[in-house]
Amino acid sequence: EVQLVESGGGLVQPGGSLRLSCAASGFTFSYYSMNWVRQAPGKGLEWLSYISSSSNTIHYADSVKGRFTISRDDAKNSLFLQMNSLRDEDTAVYYCTRDATGNFDHWGQGTLVTVSS
Amino acid sequence: EVVMTQSPLSLPVTLGQPASISCRSSQSLLYSDGNTYLNWFQQRPGQSPRRLIYHVSNRDSGVPDRFSGSGSGTDFTLKISRVEAEDVGVYYCMQGRHWPPFTFGGGTKVEIK
């Protein structure tokens, strides 16, 4: 069974940093591209970042470009999102998703990031 | 950036009755490989999103056959043939043809009358 488990969320002050992790299991992680998607409270879904299976290709949404960094460790079956210079508007639940046949076929349960002073 | 427009915003439905959600994209989602990269997701209250449909009309494993997707080019529809209580939630369409960025519709909230 495919499982994606996010962690690392929490309360952080504006301007601060957090590193989110996504632990993958139930599939050969290294074969798949992965994404981060977020959802602000009471709002819709926003794609943030993509990383290819080889880490050769990386993309970011304009809203996080230059502040967030996606990475992966295939040996540890893990996906990461380093978030710097956090703003109030970054408050959201952050999901990791697998990219396969179509897009975003599996999602984690999400981790909540709250940016507030 | 491709804009995805869903309607209606809210959809009150009687149990056992059909429901239909529309999604329009600002550009064609047909790719040269012959696939159209349009997905539908369901988000039940308090849960993470779950993909229901990919490539316009292909149901994911475990998705009841009362859910069906149709459409082509820029105009798509998700239909629920007979709404059940467990179908309550927000439904999103998403395009994967012209990326980055991947873009989602604003969501349609399905509720029971």
B contacts of A59 (beta carbons < 8 Å): 99-101
Question: Using the 8-state DSSP alphabet, how is residue B27 labeled?
Answer: S
Write down the pLDDT at residue A88: 97
Q: Closest Cα of chain A to B81: distance in Å?
A: 23
What is the rounded average pLDDT for all residues in chain B? 97
B39 interfaces chain A, CB cutoff of 8 Å: yes
Is there a contact between A59 and B96 if contact means CB atoms under 8 Å apart?
Answer: no
Q: How do residues B50-86 score in pLDDT, each as one tens digit?
A: 999 999 999 999 999 999 999 999 999 999 999 999 9
A45-to-A25, B19, B33 alpha-carbon distances in Å = 24, 22, 27
pLDDT tens column, A21-42: 999 999 999 999 999 999 999 9
| A112, A12 Cβ separation under 8 angstroms | no
Per-residue pLDDT band for B49 (boundaries 50, 70, 90) equals very high
